[in-house]
Chains A and B, each alone.
Chain A
Amino acid sequence: MKKQIFGFLAVVIALGASAFTAPRHAVKHQTAVYYWYKVNAANQIPSGSEAYSGDQVTPDDAETMLPCVSGTHLDCVRGFTNQITTFPSSAPGDTPALKKN
């Protein structure tokens, strides 16, 4: 046990550090969560599309993690409150789409 003291110390420091640097989600501008789908050049969600993260994600988080921004050009991804099942889809989504710049 004495031999592993540095190792265990490293584990404790790592756990402590990750707890302190974890992002806090308590304050969010938009707390609603959506499933996000990529839109193709024809302005449609193509056949066989899967929700981006497989989980519901807030618009703020989506903007951080997806390759799209709140721009003014073509739709990049659209967010839905439920996973969509019919493809291809032109549905506008349940939240303003993130745009391509």
Chain B
Amino acid sequence: MKSKTALDIISFLLILLFIYTAVSKLIDFNQFKGQMYNQTLPRAVAKLLIWTLPEIEILTGLLLLFEKTKPYGFYLSLILMILFTGYIILVVLNYFGRVPCSCGGVIKYLGWKLHLIFNLFFLLLSILAIFITNRERGLVGKEK
């Protein structure tokens, strides 16, 4: 598969993920807010995340939309997926006890273990996209 095609498919899937989850959170904002306050995060952090998380997800989706900003989108996606996956690993290891999911849309019905697999998949996609982008840049640099 050509690198360009692979990057297009990965960004398509990541845009789908981030825009879908962000919009689902915003559509049912009251529920999202309650779930965030119910996490084991300090209240100030929960408050901050309520107002920034959907926007950061939308920003990631938008960065992935355009060729010039796509690499930044992949890095932001990687950072978000590392944070989300790390949090889920702690939940699966029962570090916090029972914690409700504050995910958008149908993702909240996955259950924590499936959610972990789901996130690991997107984490790997982000890593792969960064790897391909950097390799492509390296090749272009060598050609010059």
Task: Give the interface of A toward B (CB within 8 A).
Answer: 3-4, 6-11, 13-15, 17-19, 21-23, 50, 52-55, 57, 61-62, 64-67
Contact = CB atoms under 8 A, between A and B. Distances in A.
Nearest to A23: B28
A52 B105 contact: no
Interface residues of B, number: 33
A66 B27 CA distance: 19
Interface of B is mostly: helix
B24 interface: yes
A14 B15 contact: yes
Contact of A18 (B8, B98, B104): B104
A65 B19 contact: no
A14 B18 CA distance: 8
Interface stretch (B59-67, B75-83, B114-122): B59-67
Given A4-B66, A6-B11, A67-B38, A57 B30 contact: yes
